[in-house]
A and B are shown apart, each in its own frame.
Chain A
Amino acid sequence: MKQLASLSRIFAILGKEFIQMRRDRLTFGMMVGIPLMQLFLFGYAINTDPRHLPTLMEIGDTGHASRAIVQAMETSEYFDIIGVSPDRAHSDAALRDGVASFVVSIPPGFERDLLRGERPQILLDVDASDPVAAGAGSGAFGPLVQEALEPLLGEMISPVETVIHRRYNPAGTTALNIVPGLLGVILTMTMAMMTSMALTREAERGTLEALLSTPARPFEVMIGKIAPFVFVGAVQVILMLLGARFLFGVPFLGDPRAFVLAVSLFILVNLSLGFLFSTMARTQMQAMQMTFFIFMPSILLSGFMFPFAAMPAWAQTIGEAIPTTHFIRAMRAIMLKGAQMEDVWWNIWPLGVIFMVIATLAMARYRQTLD
């Protein structure tokens, strides 16, 4: 009998847990949503053997041999040839801005030298700032060229010399790529979460009612609450920059003004995101859960952990809408590639647009009265 009573008590508690679980929609959504989201992203979007990376060709020789190489590259799946570069300056800019991950240069007189057996050089410039993205293509390039030329020359011992230039991160150090990205991820996490929690705390503890019963205007409350986090964000950035420099030897080659502009905009984006969450969440717990929903795609789809170019087109489209994506690109370009304002501008203006959209949404939801 005693055991039966115990069992009925256990079932009573179990039943109560399910009732509460069902009523707490957000937690329920998280329990179902997060595994599905992860399954989807890891299963379909993420590819650690990146293929189809954008490649530019610099062709000084249009003979059979060159054509054979281009054809072999196209069929290899590693390279997506996006065009022909007119000169070195154009190729450099494309690599720096991240338009191209590879540039292949075939020198003038390549076929002639090849037939004379002079072992001409083919140059492969690689944007190695992301070692994972760069690795697969550069590894495959040498054998691929060799194979392409076999029908023309018969079997020879390495008829060409493939020179691989790893730009921006010659040693392929992962830290160089991770650290600037981490700046984006940490700001996303802390800024959005801290603001949304700080604002929700007032409502949860009932202090918001007292605050609203004073003549304080809504925008005064909002600015007063959010401004401290701009300062917190600035401290975080400075700490991370110092750490990046002195612990990991990450260089800072680009324009500091572009850096400050990108960081400021990105902090504003995340603060307004936190503000938006706070208008939807009733408790701090909910605010935190909402932050997680935005945090996960920010890690997985932004190019922070896995090469952006290796993702399928639909995942890239989603990624373009994530502010962290643009921020991380700008950070890598500025810190590692010495980008100037005009080089990263096309990654900075989307941050401004995203900020305007989120801030407008948040302001529309934030109302003066308690209704």
Chain B
Amino acid sequence: MTREFAVSVEGLSKKFGLKTVVDGFSMDVPKGSIYGFLGPNGSGKTTTIRMMCGLLRPDEGGGHALGHDIRTESREIKSRVGYMTQRFSLYEDLTVKENLEFMARLHAVPKPGEVVANALGEYELEPRAKQMAGELSGGWKQRLALAAASLHGPGLLLLDEPTAGVDPKARRDFWDRIRRLARQGVTVLVSTHYMDEAVQCDYIAFIAYGKKLIDAPAADIPDAVGLTTWRVEGKGLQPAYEALENAPGVDQIARFGSALHVSGLDAVTLDRALAPWRDRDGLTVAPAKTGLEEAFIWLMTGAQDNFQ
């Protein structure tokens, strides 16, 4: 078990006061994979990640991370795991280099000078080495945080919404680096809100209300959701949108560029709803494969916000 899986947890539960934040959560993360962790705000993603790296003790359940018991061997786990927190958690009043040196020494890395110099080079932080971390822009901060989290050569990276509030270019760059790390054999567990990021994961777990709703290889997710989708393209989409929005059989309608993706769980009633639009001038209605995007919108809408 522990040889194939970087993380393997069973029945994790955590309560804060009376509120159950994580409820019977189980998951196996294969080694070397990028595992996406999705769910609305407050669904328990951060708490689950914290339990996996030994920062929080689960009330119930347990498991292993990198072959170590998450209940009793948190120190061993901490020294082999890189954890990037949701909020920037390095010292804003230390320079980039000082921050890296500090983390290297906390992890008791052998030859910290060399390790920091390598990280500065690899993450292209060299020109900013003497800049205060607090002065960096969002994208650079995240890059520094990733460099700090992977300084000690962890076998598992836990990234908690690493790209929140970062511009698209920096996000792309960040994901390039994550994939590079995964190719080197690092297992990455990453929570995110962005669907274009979720698409890049090998596996995806969707969590809401502290419970896991879906857990599958990314390619299987649309089938697992069970939606049938039609693509409506052409001129005068707005009236079609308004009419279809509340039509029976249409469970979800979303705009993708110049097309509408109309999805429903029941293929027959959906077909009936679309019938009047098939012969319209300038409109083409064609069957489409349900994509990850539709699947996620569907899951997100179903889960809503967890704070209500």
Contact = CB atoms under 8 A, between A and B. Distances in A.
Interface of A: 205-217, 368-371
Contacts of A212: 55
B106 A216 contact: yes
Contacts of A206: 85, 87-89
B198 to A, nearest CB: 24
A208 B106 CA distance: 13
Contacts of A216: 106
B56 interface: yes
Chain B: number of interface residues, binned into ranges: 20 to 34
Main secondary structure of the interface of B (DSSP, over half): loop
Given A213-B85, A215-B79, A215-B108, 11 more contacts: A206-B89, A209-B89, A210-B83, A210-B90, A213-B81, A214-B78, A214-B103, A215-B78, A370-B50, A370-B56, A371-B57
B55 A370 contact: yes
Nearest to B108: A215
Contacts of B83: 210, 213
Main secondary structure of the interface of A (DSSP, over half): loop
B46 to A, nearest CB: 10
A216 B108 CA distance: 9
Interface in B202-233: none
A210 B89 contact: yes
7 contacts: A206-B87, A207-B90, A213-B83, A214-B107, A215-B75, A369-B55, A369-B57
A211 B103 CA distance: 8
Given A214-B106, A215-B78, A207 B57 contact: no
Interface string B37-65: 00000000000001001111100000000
A371 B106 contact: no
Nearest to A217: B75
B106 A207 contact: no
A213 B57 CA distance: 13
A371 B16 CA distance: 8
Interface in B77-101: 78-79, 81, 83, 85, 87-92
B283 to A, nearest CB: 51
A213 B55 contact: yes
A230 B156 CA distance: 39
Contact of A371 (B54, B56, B87, B89): B56
Contacts of B81: 213
B197 to A, nearest CB: 22
A211 B89 CA distance: 9
Nearest to B82: A213
Given A369-B56, A369-B57, A213 B90 contact: no
What are the 4 A-B residue pairs with the smallest beta carbon separation, nearest first? Answer: A210-B89, A213-B83, A215-B79, A214-B106
Contacts of A210: 83, 85, 89-90, 103, 148
Contacts of B85: 206, 209-210, 213
A352 B161 CA distance: 48
Nearest to B78: A215
Contact of B106 (A205, A211, A368, A369): A211
Interface centre among B56, B57, B81, B106 (most CB of A within 10 A): B106
Interface string B231-265: 00000000000000000000000000000000000
